[in-house]
Structure 1
Amino acid sequence: MALSLSQEKGVSKSSDSSSSSPDDQKPFFFFLFFFFLRVLWGPVRARAAITAITTVRSGLTPARQNHQLLLLLSTYKFSIIQNSRHNQIQSRIFIFWRHSVKRKENNFVNNSKVILQLRQRALQWTAWRKSTSELASNNLLLMMLLDLILGLCFAKLFHSLGGANEVLEMFLDSVKVIADNLQLLIEWLMGVPVGLKLNRPLSTVLGKFFLYHLYLWKTYIDIIRPVVSIVIFISSTFGLIGLSFQIALLSDLITMASLHCYCFYVYAARLYGVTLHGLRATLRMFGGRKWNPLRSRFDSGDFAWDQLCVGMFIFSSLLLLLPTLLVYYVVFLALRLGVLLLQGTLKRIIWLINSVPNYSLLLWILGSPSLAGDVLFEAMPGRESTLKLVWIKLPLIESMKRSLNPSAPEYPRINWTRRLNEMVSGGLIYPL
């Protein structure tokens, strides 16, 4: 969704005045409001690929203008350009927007676990207010209260460890230890790892490339030290909201601390994937086949002798470089899988906190008839025409399935076949 907003406002200004008027500061507050609205509710999809031009003239009341402006700015991205004209008092806002083919959803705002948990808590609160079932309402209320109590306990533990400064030092020390161990690992790969004789020039180039990025990462850690201190201080405040927010913040910190490992994995995976693609393409050429992108199929092709010679040279070069690239790829893939395993575990803990019906679990343990699955009528011995109503208790798993939080997200399942295919072919593995 691409949007450009231009605002023309004619205001007579004197040459000796350098201060801005209150009207010039309004776009800043609109931008601030739009940012928080986007963080909480996410992007809004356009219904069709159309172009709209909306003009808001100064004839409307200020309240009506602000209302229309907030409605427009809360939906689309915008940029403000102000132009002043002498002796003219006009206010026009032109908003142009068009449908883009590819939306940019893979950004930090949409992937941050803290932001996602904020949206989830807003959904839980809305579902609790609009709930018509007493059982569902009690489940949501007890779930949020339990999350809050656990968050307070975690905040108490956080302050008992020494507060934000002590936790910051522990975090930075652990990051530096990881970086130092990764440097030793890269230097080990540049030599003769496990007795494997790799391509020394290629291994040296890759090793120096990764070591340079590791040096940049250490510098980056020193630069963002104040930011991490602020984030850790805010985490103690998030403990007052709930334990799920603390876990979400921990997941975001792990993402930030393992950014260099992710970059190394992407570099190695791309090199390994391009090498495999080149080997497959040359093998198809030797078999007299080529890829037809127009029809998305393989067609037969005639290749000249010089083309086959060039293909043989490329195939031999890639085949000799493949073992070295494979070693680097396997090592950084293992690091990536370790980080994803930890983040996947935290993600499922958050899902359990947001989904498990604690009130229904308590009723099942106490044997309450509110969770009866079926009823059975039994004849009373010694009493004619008298029946006894007996309720049948549901199994625990079935009771939990029927009482799950309706506003909770789906359980994050893993397609292991697709994941294994990505590992073998050199594709990028995204969070589990």
Structure 2
Amino acid sequence: MTNTDAAPERSRSRLVVRTEPVDELAPLIPRADPRHPLLWMRRGEGIVGLGETLRIETSGVDRVADAAAVWTELSADADIDDRVGLPGTGLVAFGAFAFADESESTSVLVVPELVLGRRDGRAWVTRIALSEQAADDDGSDIDHDGQADAAATVSLEIPEPAPRRRVPRVTFAPGAVPPERYESAVAEAVRRIDAGEFAKVVLARELVGELHEEDGLRATINRLAEDYPDTWVFAVDGLIGASPETLVRVDHGTVSARVLAGTTSRGAGEASDRERAVALTESAKDRAEHALAVASAVKRLEPHTARLDASPEPFTLQLPNLWHLATDLKGTLGDGSTALDLVRAVHPTAAVAGTPRRVALSVLAGLEGFDRGRYAGPVGWVDGDGDGEWAIALRCAQIDADGTVRAYAGCGIVHDSVPADELAETDMKFRPIVEAFGG
């Protein structure tokens, strides 16, 4: 159901939300909708959404601000009874936003009918429904015939975990940017960097395949969660992936983020692996690329915080297929910003766009040759208080209604980037999503 219009003068719809504890919901992924999964989790904990109470769709330059305005109004008017009080309880919406202002992809917040959640050893179920209300002469709201209570109880039942299925096989081929064209784009970017036009640009490529087994999406998501447990595993409106990068997290006045830039492959053995990690920390190219990404994030977050601290030095983040240079940011909000306010402030970061941001966005749009859609855009969830967790949609694929699967990967290009090396890095970054589809 879509409901983004202003309410009529004499009547309107109101969200009725009830969260109650339950004994256990593990595992979460096998309870997700097989065709339209809504999911956000890390290390086996998170939230799964079922059904759809309403959807907020936006596009263009103000897509995040427009969604935030509608969400704030809906949340303020909602009837919320939260008997658990953990992140992800109460009123929540799952969201995915397009990367670029001019993208043809729709940005969306989806409010499910049923939310199943697990965190800190506790489990809960939330039911969300719409109740029609009429306004009295004094402007106050009147529930008709107990519709609010009825709406809260008429909902989906908690599903039993589905049997485990094999991962659906998708054969991927280069999309709009074949390997040789990608290397040419990298070389052109380096030439323009050396000419002083900009300091860094992130260039991506896509792989395209076809999915014939929609029911197998749970198996694909489960594969991502098992292979990459320390990432944010997500599924929102056909966008699925496992992102290692936290764009922003807001929880009762605190804000945090994780910046990733600088990458190398894992070694074949323990000694080789350790050597690669050390080499990454000592690489002037990777440290310079990382510093630009951190500076960009700090610049965007700092105006909204009373205090913002960063890791004293970048640290190496170990994933099954590669090493990243990482910096954690943590602070205290100083202006009452919501998670969506901060998403709007920090997106797109230098880690997925470049530096200076405006110039880099123009350059990547010209050199990439395709619409990124929601790749490298914000993906996550927001609650009725404006808190939430948002990642950058990386290591991901978008599944369209016709079964087309588009996977994406990109690299930060700086003055000493080597085209063949950057192409190889995209292959490394494609690996999680390609393998999750049986590749």
Tell me which interval the TM-score lies in, with the shorter structure as reference length.
Answer: under 0.3
Q: Which has the higher contact order (CA 8 A, sep 6+)?
A: 2
TM-score by length of 2: 0.23
- Which one has a larger percent helix, Structure 1 or Structure 2? 1
TM-score by length of 1: 0.23
- Which one has a larger percent strand, Structure 1 or Structure 2? 2
When Rg is computed on C-alpha atoms for both structures, the one with the higher figure is 1
